[in-house]
Amino acid sequence: MGTQTTVVILAAGKGTRMKSTRPKVLSPLCGKSLLGWVLAQAEALDPDRIVLVIGHGGEAVEAEARALLPDRDLRFVVQEPQLGTGHAVQVAAGELEGSERVVVLYGDMALLRAESLQELVEEQIQAGVGSIAMMTACSLDPTGYGRVLRGAEGGFAAIVEERDCTDEQRLVDEVNTGVYCFDGAALRTDLPQLSSENAQSEYYITDLPGMAVEAGRPVITVDLDLEESLGVNTLSQLAEVRWAMQMRILEEHMDAGVLIEDPASTYIDAGVSIGAGTRILPCTVIRSGVVIGTGCEVGPFSHLRVGTQLAPGAEVGNFTECKNAILGAGTKAKHLSYLGDAEVGAGTNIGAGTIFANYDGQAKHLTRVGDGVFVGSGTTIVAPNEVPDGATTGAGAVLTRDSGMAPGEVWVGVPARKMRPSDGTGAN
């Protein structure tokens, strides 16, 4: 996006109204933190550096950012005390030297699309030296937003925070979303001029566009869908943003040929791969990191967790949970089963009520199941273990760690033993 672009992310909020000890920007949202979504927005601009203004829980915020973007030039500045959005950018001023343009984002605004942000930057570049591009939106209920005031010819005039609005100004439906792209040199000149003479005795970033107008510099507004501007200050707002993000994710999968029978009851995180022709049935939860092939069926009431991979044609059904489990092509686990830390071959049937007992109280262990295996209903497999190709377990069998099955054998009982043709019972 050009030479010396800096993105500043305001991430110092305490999130007091969320009643949580966790920093607000680390709240989970569809497989990422709020901050994770915003860092992805910043990454879309390919900036030279990203500056995060941190405060409450700053160490955790810094650790999250570095883990997500280990190769990016990240800078961190602490805003303490917190005296408004303008003050937040002021404390970051030392990291803005040499930047041709500065983009300001918010750590809780997860729904902002990368293409909207790119349009904003392009508008600022076209507007030229000293300019500001800012995002505005129209709202039927502008309560809580700063109002955008325009001059007689429709050009931008000023932003007035709601607390400082007159009764007439409160009726304005065009609102400020808080996202800006500044000319870097002009921003560095203007920041020290901000005043705290307002109802909150704070330094407002919203004063900067008005200062540009007074100086005769261009201020360009870019229309934004109001949904993209939604921030998070309460758990109910987090739920609202989660729903909007979830619908985006589901729509992307449906556009790619995935049949989702009931989007309203389907939960799929970001970072899930699903092949075309797969059916996702109602009341299914699929977490980030899951890979599902083509022509699969998942659900209803299935839970697929991190590390799960379904090869083409595999099926996972009613009340089955998979964690770190690889299922081969055409393999089925249709009912009431837990498949944890497993590698299952192709064409295998996992009977109802099967449990892969992967945890011994201290560590997780792997179970390998071969091709063409028939696992009888109610089987428990104590890991680590191996069920070889073509083997069968009887209903209710418990395979202990020392089972030692061979290919094609049939094991039954508790503990399971090889079934002998002479007695048909499996007893020795």
Residue numbers annotated as active site: 335
Burial of 240 (C-beta count, 10 Å sphere; 0-12/13-18/19+):
middle
Query: Distance between CA atoms of 177 and 183, rounded to whole angstroms?
Result: 18
Neighbours of 215 (CB within 10 A): 11
Q: Is the dihedral of CA 22, 95, 112, 285 positive or negative?
A: negative
Structure tokens at 407: 């290919």
Instruction: Give first-to-last CA distance, the chain, whole Å.
Output: 74
Query: Distance between CA atoms of 390 and 383, rounded to whole angstroms?
Result: 19
Neighbours of 140 (CB within 10 A): 6
Query: Distance between CA atoms of 4 and 48, rounded to whole angstroms?
Result: 5
- The helix-helix angle for 58-68 and 34-44 (nearest 10°) equals 50
Which residue has tokens 């280990």? 70
How many residues does the structure list for the chain?
428
* Residue 259 bridge partners (DSSP): 279
